Structure 1
Amino acid sequence: MRPTTSSPYRRTSDDTSQELAENKNDVPNYYASNPSTLTTSSTVHKFITGTGDDIFSSILPALKSAESEVIFITCFWARSSSLSQLSDTLRALSVRAEARGGWKLRVRIGLSSLSLFQKLFQPHTVRGQTYPPSTWVKKFGLPSPSELKGLDLEIKSVFLLPFSVMHPKFIIVDRKKVFLPSCNVSWESWFEGCIELSGPVVSQFVRFWSEFWAQNDFDRSLPPPPSPPYPSLTSLSPPQTPSPTPTSSSGPAQTHTLLPSHDIQTLFLPSPHHLNPRFAPFTSSPPTSPPTPLNILLLTLLARATTSIYIQTPNLTSPPVLTALLRALRHGVAVHIRTSARLMILEQLVTAGTTTTRCVRKLAKRHRALPFSSESTLDEEARVGLTAPGTLRIEFFEPRVGVNGTAEPQQSHLKLLIVDALVTVLGSGNLDRASWFTSQELGVAFFDGEVAGRVRGAVDQVMEGRMRSHYG
């Protein structure tokens, strides 16, 4: 099913103009005066699940086919098998670029969290810090500059105190194709997802990157394609490069799901960072979250849901989301939540003052108190004329018992929202307080029932035997 222009899930520019006007001081803010520019379309190719290693082993080969440019944005960066895979990819790109001759292949890497020292002492501005080639090996675990002579490589980090990490993760290849993974360059063996995109939506990613990450006007334009006598990289014989780091050919949580090939109505959803966490410990009403495009769209979807809401999120501590879910339950919408009980607990306490477990317990308690719920204390006469609340199902991720090796995911890190089996939102944003109030995030909404069904089916398949029922 594809949405019509009258779909209740769509927001027009008139709906959002007043809210987005508050974003005029955000960085980036190019959409604030005309939110309709975020409306686009996309061709979705594949949805991949697995650990971070599984995801990178699936998508990094596509980077080796780059002709002009690779833009690689992530949040957390650590020495890991994923980093080894990326290093091998960069070596292969460099060797092929040198063999082709001519201009170097441009590679731009952006990240936010490398170490506590980096976050405390780097320049705390949106311009961030750019690192010289002499730091690539020791600081980032990358190949030496002598191994990457065929690349025009720059690495930049941005972090702003106290809590503003740049949380998006995306990869753009030649400004023709985008990969949107949930994983970082990290050692964590977590359950992740990634969607592969092309079409007009790619220009949205390029615009977002150029407005925030690009160092200069030179970076804003794509390098020219190779011209005679230089052959394309893909026409060259495979170079002799170091053997790649061994990886599992198919992890226990790895799936590849083909998605419908038609154009899909799509919304690009940036969510800029904010320095003020808006803590309000002495008020009973939840604080208002910054009206970013991502926050606005998610609240709109939750408010306008008619039948079902499916959520998979690492953590769930955002007050506006919890309030919206309770409201949806009151209106008879079925809510299914899959999250983690013990993921980044210290971070939750620092940024939210609570934990996911506490928040979902409170949500369950409030659901039980709703009229018509199975445990409601209202008598039959008091229930007359009231709408029966929707069902609430809460599950915690747990590793599958009996699966040996590090390939088994230990936590769920996927960020996924599906509303009414029609609208799918993927990206970097968790449904926790940090993502909603301080971190930079990025999401994409797809208005297509077939996409929603195939993505949900792939996730359900992997979650079998990996969920522990908490409520409902």
Structure 2
Amino acid sequence: MSSPHFKAVTDTWLSDLQSNAEINLRDEPNFWASDPSKLITTSQPVHFSIGTGSHILSSAFATCASTNHELIIVTCFWAKSHSQEDLASLLLKLSAKAISQNRKIQVRLCFSSLSLLQKLFQTSSLDGKIYPPSSWAGLGLPRPEELTGLDLVVKSVFVRPFSVMHPKFILVDRKIAFMPSCNVSWEDWFEGCIEMQGDIALKLFDFWTAFWGRGGSALPPISTTNASSEFPTLNGQDSSLIKQASFTQDTLLTQTILLPSPHHANRILHPFSTSTPPPTPLNTFILRILATATKSIFIQSPNLTCSPLISDLFSALERGIDVDLITSSRLMILEQLVTAGTITEFEVWKLRRRYARLLKVYNNSLKNPDLENPPVKPGVLKVGYFRKREGGGKDEPVKSHLKMVVVDGEITVLGSGNMDRASWFTSQELGVAFLGREVAERIKGAVDEGLEGRVVYVC
């Protein structure tokens, strides 16, 4: 049962969305627009992992090998990498397994960005492009004759000029879900991944069906007569990971909210605008929890260029809320300039300058205090840039790509959305919110441990 505080947050968030239902019905997907309460569910967190993308996906694929009926893998960027090789190996194993049991396993591989040529010439239809089996080898996948145990569909969706489908998630038999921050790509970045079981998997499948399941890639109902879905339980942490926080099986079901954020191709035409971001479930939820924070806000994001978000963070500081930001420097600078007309370092500098003025005004007010209306002491602002840990070895992450928000130590948001203008105004994103102190403490504790020796604070 949710606490009164969580109920107040969700009720206000639902009201915000209902007041924008007409706007959100224009989006794709929009299955939640008329009744956003259908996004609220529960989950049983299993593991939260920190590591490079290659190691995180390798760990997830170990569980995916237990697939009996259906495997869905959605990513944004698709590139030649160890992760791609591990995925190819996984497909071979699943095919052999299905052949030995005289059946087929359904597999859907979905991505958005492959190459510049793909972005220039692929259809902008949301039905996307389905890749014929003859092209699989060119995508780094096994040849079709090696995958006869699979009913495999490979699909990409991209909307010109810059609307990538940015979500990343994995569904195994509609029972277990992974939501990593990483792509099937080569970057050695600091990433995170939440593994979940329970009804959240069905909500993710609803999202997949509404968007990726169109245009010839739909999935049949899962048969439960042939094989059961038994997933391995890992004993101890995968040694390749930086940190893995595990949740015990007796952990109470956690109130969980799926947070879609559809793409908006036209928004890129006004990169210098500070207009209100689209009222998507993800955008609206983050702005709501920032506005109602009572103690602290922690955000880790590769970039920080979304003006409305930054304004809300400054408002929180004015209310006395502590704000802790972890980001990266010199990361995707051209993309930031094109989509936002600014870069993270400049936005951090402006925020620090405004904060210094706020502190000065507060300190001056103490010289002639108004006893009837005492000034509010500003919250503490901390901003840190991720750095490579010295002596960390060849697999040491060089940048941070984790996307995470923790408010008041009890509300946690993970997913694909960055705190930049592209994610808030243009790209399709997908997040998941957990409402519970235990989940927040375990996830934040794992991140804090993973960041030791990897952050340089500038304030």
Contact 2:389 2:396 in 1 (8 A): yes
Residue type of the partner of 2:291? Answer: A
2: CA distance between counterparts of 1:126 and 1:42? 30
Counterpart contact for 1:372–1:383, Cα < 8 Å: no
Alignment match, 1:89: 90
Pick closer, same or farther for the CA change 1:328–1:105 going to 2, 3 Å.
same
**Shift in Å, 1:222:** 2.7
Note if contact 1:49-1:193 (Cα within 8 Å) is conserved in structure 2. yes
What is the alpha-carbon distance in structure 2 between the residues aligned to residue 431 and residue 218 of structure 1?
Answer: 31
Deviations 1:294-352 (A, max 9, x none): 00000001000000000000101001110100000000000000000111111101111
Contact 2:365/2:375 (<8 A) preserved: no
In structure 2, what is the equivalent of residue 449 of structure 1?
Answer: 437
Does residue 1:380 correspond to 2:367, yes or no? yes
Aligned pair partner of 2:315 in 310, 322, 327: 327
Q: Choose the corresponding residue for 1:273, options 253, 258, 263.
A: 263
**TM-score (structure 1 length as normaliser):** 0.91
Contact 1:69 1:222 in 2 (8 A): no
Aligned to 2:200: 201
Partner of residue 434 from structure 1, selected from 384, 403, 422 = 422
> What are the residue-to-residue correspondences of 1:39-438 with 2, within 5 Å?
39-102=40-103, 104-138=104-138, 140-215=139-214, 219-227=218-226, 250-251=239-240, 254-259=242-247, 261-277=251-267, 280=270, 286-371=274-359, 380-381=367-368, 385-405=374-394, 407-438=395-426
Q: For residue 357 of structure 1, what is the amino acid of its counterpart?
A: E
Residues 1:45 and 1:373: Cα distance change in structure 2 (over 3 Å): farther
CA–CA distance in structure 1, aligned partners of residues 217 and 113 of structure 2: 26
Aligned amino acid, residue 379 of structure 2: G
- Structure 1 residues 42 and 78, CA, compared in 2 at 3 Å: closer, same or farther? same
Runs of 4+ in structure 1 over 4 Å off: 5-8, 231-235, 278-283, 371-374, 376-379
Deviations 1:424-462 (A, max 9, x none): 000000000000000000001000001100101000001
Identity %: 47
Q: CA deviation at 1:3?
A: 2.9
**Compared with structure 1, are the counterparts of its residues 84 and 366 closer, same or farther at alpha carbon in structure 2 (3 Å cutoff)?**
same
Residue aligned with 1:436, SS:
helix
Other-structure match for 2:450: 462
In structure 2, relative to structure 1, the CA distance for the partners of 1:464 and 1:126 (3 Å cut) is: same
How large is the RMSD of aligned CA atoms in angstroms? 2.2
Contact 1:47 1:196 in 2 (8 A): yes
What are the superposed Cα offsets for residues 117-160 of structure 1, whole Å, 9 maximum, x if unpaired?
0011010111110000000001x111111111111000110000
Aligned position for 1:10: 10
Distance 1:463 1:94, change over 3 A: same
Q: Distance in 2 between matches of 1:282 and 1:52?
A: 32
| Counterpart position of 2:234 | none
Cα deviation 1:21-60 (Å, max 9, x = unaligned): 3111100011111111111111111101100111012110
**Whole-angstrom CA distance in 1 between matches of 2:122 and 2:253:** 42
AA aligned to 1:43 is Q
CA shift for structure 1 position 217: 8.2
- Report how far residue 201 of structure 1 moved: 1.2
Aligned residue for 1:381, secondary structure, equals: coil
Are residues 279 and 470 of structure 1, via their aligned partners in 2, closer, same or farther at CA, if it must alter by over 3 Å?
A: farther
Contact 1:54 1:254 in 2 (8 A): no
Amino acid at match of 2:3: P
Q: State TM-score, norm by structure 2.
A: 0.93
Distance across 2 between alignment mates of 1:39 and 1:5: 16
Code of the residue aligned with 1:50 in structure 2: it is G
Question: In the alignment, is the contact (CA less than 8 A) between 2:17 and 2:280 conserved in 1?
Answer: no
SS in structure 2 at match of 1:418? strand
Provide Cα deviations, 1:378-427, integer angstroms capped at 9, x if missing partner.
5621676210110000000000011221x100100000000000100000
Deviation at 1:262, TM superposition (A): 1.2
Mapped to 1, the partners of 2:272 and 2:368 lie a distance apart of 38
Deviating more after overlay: 383-392 vs 7-16: 7-16
Instruction: Give the distance between the partners of 1:409 and 1:213, measured in 2 at CA.
Output: 31
**Pair 31,2 (structure 1): closer, same or farther in 2 beyond 3 Å:** closer
Tell me how far 1:279 sits from its aligned partner. 5.3
Secondary structure of the 1:225 match is coil
- Any idea what SS the aligned residue of 1:9 has? helix
Task: Report the CA distance between 1:14 and its aligned residue.
Answer: 3.0
For 2:97 and 2:361, the matched residues in 1 are separated by 64
> Which whole-Å CA distance do the structure 1 matches of 2:9 and 2:143 have between them?
49
1:266–1:447 contact (8 Å) kept in structure 2: yes
**Hey, what's the Cα distance between the residues in 1 that align with 2:458 and 2:41?**
39
Evaluate the alpha carbon distance shift between residue 255 and residue 271 of structure 1 in structure 2; reply closer, same or farther with a 3 A threshold. Answer: same
Cα separation, partners in 2 of 1:233 and 1:273, compared to 1, 3 Å: closer
Structure 1: runs of 5 or more not aligned: 236-247
What code does the residue aligned with 2:413 have?
V
Tell me if the contact between 1:273 and 1:439 (Cα under 8 Å) persists in the aligned partners. Answer: yes
Q: What is the letter of the counterpart of residue 400 of structure 1?
A: R
Tell me the secondary structure at the aligned position of residue 30 of structure 2.
coil
Give the match's secondary structure for 1:25: coil
Unaligned 5+ segments in structure 2 are 232-236
